[in-house]
């Protein structure tokens, strides 16, 4: 009876096998083209493109056949970085411990780090240290932090001193080192005579999770370095995560206290926020954005790169966080430049930013007014912007940042205040400016 209900399975025909083989081969070629053409696209965009190209049921197979070989060999470290991120992204948001590619990523991290560490004594930056840093971030479950950056950028930028291969350790290595030290202490305190005491050995984890690579001396022979730098590592890593989070949310007071001591060390091409990220940081955390920009201006970063950050300030909208941020900068007397030609942060902002920022605020308000006229939708943010801009400008006048005797400097704002004199703040400001 069952044989009449359930049909017998038919063996696959040669035609079906040929079609399946052709389809998989086409996927491999598409992924190969993707990997070779996205050096300057962000890692996250490339991972999303991979997910769009390859059906879900084929992603592991194609990754195993096409992506993994690119990560494990070759001298193009941008390609290797991209491949490792794609392998990581396949199983997010699950923990990295559940990623089937974790063991091979760990193996390459340990082997490449061992080679790179041999170059520390001669103060040489090994060619694959950026690749090692990316693998380290992935193994720590922090691979998402590198998503916004392109593989070419990650492979090219120099590393922060605390992110060099000699400094990179994993949490399980610290645990193993601590367990080994504890085991050695226990043995030394036992009643067994010294000549008969068992030789202490490293306490290793289950091979299901952490495979063993060589002898314990070769794998973890820097326990003193691990113990000495572990706390520094965690602090820097936590600060990096907080700085990235500060773009999208307001940090708590305790988080700000953790981040502030590390801001200077994070002013680095690979680790800091890029110039386009600065407005978001200002919007959510102006108290962090202020010292962050000051450290940028004090750093050895090329002036062209510093100018990118300064230029971003001019386009800030007329919000309280923007006025708070600019107000702090125009009063900042932190010295810049050389001993022979000293100037201050306030000088840079007043000369290069202030007029452009005020002009941008006025343009923003005028655009909102035109939009209200077209749509008929009334929004109180326009009224708040007018009032707050007038208050901000009045504070600059009182602080003598603005010279009211300079007609060229105040003409635009005087005209704006007159147009909006229906507001008390604008009316008061106009009378002050009109007196000269």
> What pTM was estimated for this model as a whole?
0.54
Considering only 5-14, 20-29, 236-245, 261-270, which range has the smallest mean pLDDT? 5-14
Dihedral angle sign, alpha carbons of residues 349, 353, 359, 364: negative
Whether the pLDDT of residue 366 is over 80: the answer is: yes
Question: What's the whole-number mean pLDDT along residues 97-106?
Answer: 88
pLDDT of residue 232: 53
Mean pLDDT of the chain: 77
Q: Which H, E and C letters describe the chain, residue by residue?
A: CHHHHCCCCCCCCHHHHHHHHHHHHHHHHHHHHHHHCCCCCCHHHHHHHHHHHCCHHHHHHHHHHHHHHHHHCCCCHHHHHHHHHHHHHCCCCCCHHHCCCHHHHHHHHHHHHHHHHCCHHHCCCCCCHHHHHHHHHHHCCCHHHHCCCCHHHHHHCCCCHHHCHHHCCCHHHHHHHHHHHHHHHHHHCCCCCHHHCCCCCCCCCCCCCCCCCCCHHHHCCCHHHHHHHHHHHHHHHHHHHHHHHCCCCCCCHHHHHHHHHHCHHHCCCCCCCCHHHHHHHHHHCHHHHHHHHHHHHHCCCCHHHHHHHHHHHCCCCCCHHHHHHHHHHHCCCCEEECCCCEEEHHHHHHHHHHHHHHHHHHHHHHHHHHHHHHHCCCCHHHHHHHHHHHHHHHHHHHCCCCCCCCHHHHHHHHHHHHHCCCCHHHHHHHHHHHHC
Which segment of 81-95, 229-243, 245-259, 375-389 scores lowest on mean pLDDT? 229-243
Query: Range with the lowest mean pLDDT among 29-38, 304-313, 424-433?
Result: 29-38
The domain spans of the chain are 23-170, 232-434
Please report the pLDDT score of residue 341 as a whole number.
63
Please, which pLDDT band fits residue 353 given cuts at 50, 70 and 90? very high
Output the pLDDT for position 2: 36
Q: Note whether 417 and 430 are within 8 A (CB).
A: yes
Q: Give the span between the Cα atoms of 413 and 391, in whole angstroms.
A: 12
The more confidently predicted of residues 15 and 266 is 266
Q: With 0-12 CB in 10 A as exposed, 13-18 as middle and 19+ as buried, what is 99? A: buried
Give residue 233's pLDDT.
Answer: 52
Residue 123 confidence class, pLDDT cut points 50, 70, 90: low
Q: What per-residue confidence (pLDDT) applies to 268?
A: 62
Whole-number pLDDT of residue 124: 54
Digit-coded pLDDT (tens) for 150-165: 888 888 777 777 777 7
pLDDT tens string 182-241: 444 444 444 433 333 333 333 333 333 333 333 333 333 434 433 444 455 566 777 877
What number is the average pLDDT over the span 77-96? 88
| Residue range 311-322: mean pLDDT, rounded | 92
């Amino acid at each position: 009876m069952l044989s009449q209900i359930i049909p017998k399975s038919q063996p696959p025909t040669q035609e079906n096998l040929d079609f399946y083989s052709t389809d998989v081969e086409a996927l491999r070629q598409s992924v190969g083209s993707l990997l070779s053409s996205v050096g300057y696209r962000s890692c996250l965009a490339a991972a999303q493109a991979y997910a769009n190209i390859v059906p879900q049921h084929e992603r592991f197979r194609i990754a195993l056949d096409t992506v993994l070989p690119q990560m494990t060999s070759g001298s193009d470290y941008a390609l290797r970085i991209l491949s490792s991120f794609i392998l990581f992204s396949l199983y997010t948001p699950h923990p990295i411990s559940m990623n089937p590619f974790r063991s091979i990523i760990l193996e390459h991290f340990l082997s490449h780090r061992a080679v790179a560490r041999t170059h520390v004594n001669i103060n040489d930056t090994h060619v694959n240290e950026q690749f090692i840093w990316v693998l380290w971030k992935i193994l720590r479950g922090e691979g998402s932090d590198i998503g916004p950056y392109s593989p070419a950028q990650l492979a090219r930028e120099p590393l922060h001193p605390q992110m060099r291969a000699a400094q990179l350790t994993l949490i399980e290595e610290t645990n193993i080192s601590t367990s080994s030290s504890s085991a050695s202490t226990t043995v030394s305190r036992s009643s067994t005579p010294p000549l008969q005491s068992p030789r202490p050995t490293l306490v290793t984890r289950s091979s299901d999770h952490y495979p063993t690579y060589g002898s314990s001396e070769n794998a973890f022979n820097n326990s003193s370095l691990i113990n000495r730098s572990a706390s520094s590592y965690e602090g820097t890593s936590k600060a990096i995560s907080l700085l990235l989070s500060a773009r999208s949310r307001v940090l708590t007071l305790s988080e700000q206290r953790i981040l502030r001591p590390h801001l200077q060390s994070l002013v680095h091409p690979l680790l800091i926020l890029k110039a386009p990220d600065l407005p978001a940081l200002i919007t959510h955390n102006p108290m962090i954005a202020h010292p962050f920009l000051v450290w940028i201006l004090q750093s050895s970063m090329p002036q062209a790169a510093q100018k990118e950050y300064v230029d971003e300030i001019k386009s800030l909208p007329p919000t309280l966080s923007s006025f708070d941020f600019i107000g702090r900068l125009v009063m900042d007397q932190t010295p810049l430049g050389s001993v022979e030609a000293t100037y201050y942060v306030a000088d840079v902002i007043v000369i290069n930013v202030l007029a452009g920022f005020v002009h941008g605020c006025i343009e923003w308000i005028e655009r909102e007014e035109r939009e209200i006229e077209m749509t008929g939708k009334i929004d109180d943010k326009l009224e708040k912007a007018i009032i707050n801009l007038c208050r901000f400008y009045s504070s600059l006048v009182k602080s003598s940042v603005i010279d009211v005797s300079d007609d060229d400097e105040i003409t635009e704002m005087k005209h704006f205040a007159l147009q909006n004199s229906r507001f008390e703040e604008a009316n008061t400001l106009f009378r002050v400016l009109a007196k000269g």
